[in-house]
Amino acid sequence: MKQDSPRHTVVVWDLPTRLFHWSLALCFALLWATGEVGGLDFVVPLPGGKTWFITNMDLHMWLGQAVLALVVFRVLWGLWGSSPSRFRSFVRGPGAAYRHFVQLMRGAVPAGIGHNPAGGLAIVAMLVLLFLQAGTGLFANDEIYSEGPLAHLVSSEISTRLTDLHGAVFDVLLAFVALHVAAVLYYLLRGKNLIAPMLHGRQTLPAAGEGATLYHAPLTRALLFFGAAVLAVWSLHWW
């Protein structure tokens, strides 16, 4: 779809990318709370006087699988989604990231559509870490009464090692997320608001004609990809 407006405002982040991002951020916060703090147990009243007891760990495992589905969806969207969300439009080498930093150090905030080269690398790193985090969680156990849906496939020794890795990856992920939020706030202080486009999707561009060739993939494709991602994660329970 072509974007052509006199104010040079284009839709840079489509609805699927924005929903992905804020669902991920919410899941991450809840995973942190259920994983590190705990105590989020619920009793859900059911018809017939019965009750459904949802433990903190149940919630943690559901959220972890939701993150896995979100990451699988984002990989599909990064390959065949809207152009600004595709990996090939924002994944650059370390050289480009370095040049971006040099420009920042010289006081310039580089313009451009979508993720900058440094942000692009950080995003790929976060997706890989999230995949590792959720993937190791599938095999983890809490040494009391909860274990991930695939823990029965490995020995208890391997499950314990993967549980340790699950904790270690989280610390690295947390550092990346902190850096990510700090970078977003830094840009805000330097006059470039990246948060608003991630909320409403639109970005105003300085140069006329810029962004005229953006491609927006149909929502039905996003739904198909999301359905496939949920099914892929759900199918892990049949192993």
Enumerate binding residues for ligand HEM (CB under 6 A): 17, 20-21, 24-25, 28, 74, 85, 115, 119, 123, 126-127, 177, 180-181, 184, 194-195, 198
Quote the least distance from Cβ 46 to ligand HEM, whole Å: 33
Long-range residue pairs from 176-185, CB within 8 A, at least 24 positions apart, any chain: 176/122, 176/125, 176/126, 176/129, 177/28, 177/126, 179/122, 180/122, 180/126, 183/118, 183/119, 183/122
Cβ burial 188-227 (10 Å sphere, 16+ → b, else e): eeeeeebeebbeebebebeeeebbeebebbeeeebeebbe
Q: Which is nearer to ligand HEM, 150 or 194 (CB)?
A: 194
Quote the least distance from Cβ 75 to ligand HEM, whole Å: 10
Q: Which is nearer to ligand HEM, 63 or 151 (CB)?
A: 63
Q: Which is nearer to ligand HEM, 61 or 122 (CB)?
A: 122
Q: Which is nearer to ligand HEM, 16 or 149 (CB)?
A: 16
Quote the least distance from Cβ 174 to ligand HEM, whole Å: 9
Quote the least distance from Cβ 59 to ligand HEM, whole Å: 17
- H helix or E strand, kind and range, residue 192: none
Q: Which is nearer to ligand HEM, 156 or 218 (CB)?
A: 218
Quote the least distance from Cβ 49 to ligand HEM, whole Å: 40
Give me 177's structure tokens: 């997320």
Quote the least distance from Cβ 195 to ligand HEM, whole Å: 5
Nearest to 59 by CA among 85, 79, 81, 40: 40
Q: Which is nearer to ligand HEM, 54 or 198 (CB)?
A: 198
Helix (H, G, I), strand (E, B) or coil at 43: strand
Exposed, middle or buried by CB within 10 Å (0-12, 13-18, 19+), for 142?
Answer: middle
